[in-house]
Amino acid sequence: MTGLLIGAVFGAVFVVVNAQSPLNAVAVNVLRVAACLAAVGVLALWFAAVRKERPAGETGRNMFSPGYLAVVAAEVVLLFGGLRLLAAWGGPEQLNVAWVSLVVGVHFVALAPIWKDWGIAVPGVVLSVLGGAGLALAFTAAVAWVPIVSGVLSGAVLLAGSLTFGWRTVQG
């Protein structure tokens, strides 16, 4: 559940930061409020899961294994190194959110075999596709839509996935 909470927080941040023009002000505010409410919902599910008793002898999974740490280290290098390269190449600033979405998506796909949980590969693939779509859009007349495609939609995927898996965990 801690991973879902982290995903929900980042999902909410993606939506809150990237919900902007060309969307109208009402849509922007609705998206931001919905994202915050979804994150609060995941937090409530997290507390509900913590209150449930763990069966005797169950130790849970160590999410911070050496494999996890290697993936996160690679993610940090790709994120910050890629952002520096994009800035050096002089591309539009909208490339940044597309790059972040792509790298975060790939990181989920890379974690799936490490955690032996292929469920996280699904949002990883979707985020990677949304990041790639944003990278392509950044070089078109539709560049203003990159934050919506790569930021808002990616955040919505993270929030929806966190809510879905959190609900299943609490119910199961």
| Average pLDDT of the chain, as a whole number | 92
Q: How many domains does the chain have?
A: 1
Q: pLDDT tens across 8-56, in order?
A: 999 999 999 999 999 999 999 999 999 999 999 999 999 988 877 555 4
Tokens of 127: 């985020």
CA angle, 45 then 64 then 61, to 5°: 60
Task: Say what the pLDDT of residue 78 is.
Answer: 97
Is the omega angle on the peptide bond into residue 22 within 30 degrees of 0, that is, cis?
yes
Indicate yes or no: pTM above 0.85: yes
Q: How many CB atoms lie within 10 A of CB 57?
A: 5
Q: pLDDT tens across 52-68, in order?
A: 755 544 555 567 889 99
Distance CA(16)–CA(26), nearest Å, equals: 13
pLDDT at 88 > cutoff 90 = yes
Q: Residue 135: is it exposed, middle or buried by C-beta count within 10 angstroms (0-12/13-18/19+)?
A: buried
Place of tokens 């979405």: 101
The letter for the amino acid at 55 is: P
Task: Say what the pLDDT of residue 133 is.
Answer: 98
**Cα-atom radius of gyration of the chain, to the nearest Å?**
17
Mean pLDDT of 155-160: 97
- Domain of residue 96 covers 2-171
pLDDT at 70 > cutoff 80 = yes
